[in-house]
Amino acid sequence: MRRLVTQGLKQSGFQTIDMASAEEAIDWMRKFGSPHLALVDIDLQYGMSGLDFCGIVRQFSEMPIVMMTANDEPFTIIQAIDKFAEDYITKPFSIRELVTRVSRVLRRIEQFSDDLS
């Protein structure tokens, strides 16, 4: 799934950085800074959960987060959006839908930044 998402985003003109674990992503961000947006799965294969990752990231970054996960439990969706995420997309989804959601979040952030300047 990660490879398909990365490939689909690249084909749509996005630059991507693919991390194998939340810990790897946190180390990368502390070294190089936050990317424009993070796509995070709640149920990560290795290490900490996606929600734990988001909690740590929020200690040092306000980058937009889009959750993409098979977890469609209402409590989890509400918790993720309330605490961390700009958007939440449940699997299965089309790459086109993901690209549309990512583009919309980035446009909103850009518009907000323009309004502040």
Q: Is the pLDDT assigned to residue 115 strictly greater than 80? A: no
pLDDT attached to residue 50: 93
3-state secondary structure 26-80: HHHHHHHCCCCCEEECCCCCCCCCHHHHHHHHCCCCCCCEEEEECCCCHHHHHHH
Report the length, in residues, of the chain.
Answer: 117
User: Could you tell me which residue, 34 or 20, shows the higher pLDDT?
Assistant: 34
For the stretch 47-82, pLDDT in tens is: 899 999 999 999 999 999 999 999 999 999 999 999
Q: Is the pTM of this model over 0.95?
A: no
User: How does residue 1 score in pLDDT terms, banded at 50, 70 and 90?
Assistant: confident
Q: Please say whether the beta carbons of 25 and 47 come within 8 A.
A: no
- Sign of the C-alpha dihedral computed for residues 97, 98, 100 and 104 taken in this order: positive
H-helix or E-strand containing 10? helix 2-11
Domains (range + CATH), the chain: 2-8+21-116 (3.40.50.2300)
pLDDT attached to residue 117: 59
